[in-house]
A and B are shown apart, each in its own frame.
Chain A
Amino acid sequence: GENVEQHPSTLSVQEGDSAVIKCTYSDSASNYFPWYKQELGKGPQLIIDIRSNVGEKKDQRIAVTLNKTAKHFSLHITETQPEDSAVYFCAATPRGSARQLTFGSGTQLTVLP
């Protein structure tokens, strides 16, 4: 089955700096890669996703890149703000949808004011 590794487990950045979280996956058939943000005391929420036929996707300050050859994908957050502080999870699936995802272990992002 799919295995997803996520790094780093914790990340602290100064407000306004950029943050990058990286994930690698094992199943070359995986074709859907979402990122979830989990705020304290809440359930995860989808923030951005990418499919295997696309190399990069942006949504305002958030971007995701995918390298199929190397089997890794990354989340980039620019101009970080205190409200970006949360746990971020990457995930992957070969099934083309969010219904059977394999999640990474999570990254605790702290944005320091």
Chain B
Amino acid sequence: EAQVTQNPRYLITVTGKKLTVTCSQNMNHEYMSWYRQDPGLGLRQIYYSMNVEVTDKGDVPEGYKVSRKEKRNFPLILESPSPNQTSLYFCASSLWEDGETQYFGPGTRLLVL
């Protein structure tokens, strides 16, 4: 089944404790991205990657890091989480040639205390 998976789905952590949210797609998509969803703000792009070893900042990159060492994986790293990073996070992927359809993962709900 073609899908984007994220782990964990739910995470509670404390300020300053490094964490990684994994994202993996099995569709051989070149393009992957991370969004955060907050009430009243819609989805905002954090980082995106056009292919292996090619990443760039989205609209709200502060406090986040990403890496793209393999085509299928695009982890989101919070090296020193803060309470304002409490949010619902989505990973998405698409074929480079088909710019119209982004496939979203199921989301990761993060609470930073």
Contacts and interface: CB of A to CB of B under 8 A. Distances in A.
A42 interface: yes
Interface of B: 4, 31, 33, 40-45, 48, 58-59, 90, 92, 94, 99-102, 104-107
B100 to A, nearest CB: 5
B5 to A, nearest CB: 11
Contact of B43 (A41, A42, A44): A44
B63 to A, nearest CB: 20
A11 B4 CA distance: 30
Contacts of B104: 43-45
A13 B35 CA distance: 30
Given A42-B106, A44-B90, A34 B42 contact: no
Contacts of A1: 59
Given A43-B107, A46-B100, A99-B33, 12 more contacts: A1-B59, A9-B40, A41-B107, A42-B107, A43-B90, A44-B90, A44-B104, A97-B99, A97-B100, A98-B100, A103-B43, A106-B42
